[in-house]
Chains A and B, each alone.
Chain A
Amino acid sequence: MITKYIFYFLSVLVIFSAMMVVFSKNPVHSVLYLIVTFFGIAGHYFLLNAQFLAAVHIIVYAGAIMVLFLYVIMMLNLNKEAEPHKPVWVKFAAVIAGGLLMITLVGSLRGAETMMKVNPANEQIGLVENLGKALFGPFLLPFEISSVLFLAAMVGAVMLSKKEIH
């Protein structure tokens, strides 16, 4: 099936660009690779028939968060390779720790497929109508509280970036 190969292609794309986010020297290149990663993940959402989340993901991440990152990088003039590097033994320890985490996660997955009882019968689960019913039904209170969170974050960001009054 073609969607299987789309899955493999998107997975390779996402993992490669995520690696490039970590290992590229220039922060601007990291941001650009992160945008590629986010588009790959949005493609995965499309494959999973979650169109609403795919659209929101592209709007929020590629539209808002990445612009914020690029804006800060260019404002601080960090688009050069002036970053000092960690000592080699710290990098080595980081790679070892990451590998151990990967082994733990994959190892804990062994035998898990027999416990899971999946039921992918309802294909309409990611459409706007179903999500809206869930969001404004059982999840109405968290939804409203998240607006308070946004207000607090906005006030906090403005307070932080304001010059101090002497």
Chain B
Amino acid sequence: MIMNNVINGVPLNYYILLSACIFTIGVLGVLFRRNAIIIFMCVELMLNAVNLLLVAFSRYLSDSSGQVFVFFIMAVAAAEVAVGLAILTMIYRNTKSTDIDMLDKLKW
């Protein structure tokens, strides 16, 4: 028994709303905090919001391409975190802090 555009009693719009909430929380965290590690975590939150939305669309449209994209996003996120945390430890080694407001040399 498959109802039209509803899976398990949950319409697709609820997933879009949930993803919008998670994405907004990620953006808020990037704007709100000064610790570079927390900002990385908020970037991960934003990527996960996009992942959730892709999986929901893929399931509701019966198209497996969306889930393959999620797979690739996970791969890119893992690479990004590895390189980013390496850069962060280098910054910490030089400035003894992970405060992003110290890193304003490239600012005009």
Instruction: Give A residues with C-beta under 8 Å from B.
Output: 1, 3-4, 7, 11, 14-15, 18-19, 21-22, 27, 30-31, 34, 37-38, 41, 44-45, 47-50, 52-53, 56-57, 60-61, 64-65, 68-69, 72-73, 75-76, 78, 83-86, 90-91, 93-95, 97-99, 101-102, 105-106, 109, 112-113, 116, 118-122, 125-126, 130-131, 133-135, 138-139, 142-143, 146, 149-150, 152-154, 156-157, 160-161
Instruction: Give B residues with C-beta under 8 Å from A.
Output: 2, 4-5, 7-18, 20-29, 31-35, 37-38, 40-42, 44-45, 48, 51-52, 55-56, 58-65, 67-68, 70-72, 74-83, 85-90, 92, 98-99, 101
Residues of B within 8 A of A50 (CB): 55, 58-59, 67
- Given known A72-B37, A134-B68, contact A121–B62 (CB-CB < 8 A): yes
User: In the complex the two chains form, what is the Cα distance from A84 to B35 in whole Å?
Assistant: 9
Partner of B83, one of A101, A131, A157: A157
Residues of B within 8 A of A49 (CB): 59
Residues of B within 8 A of A73 (CB): 37
Residues of B within 8 A of A31 (CB): 41
Residues of A within 8 A of B55 (CB): 44-45, 48, 50, 53, 126
Contact A37 B48 (CB under 8 A): yes
Contact A56 B74 (CB under 8 A): yes
Partner of A98, one of B16, B27, B41, B82: B27
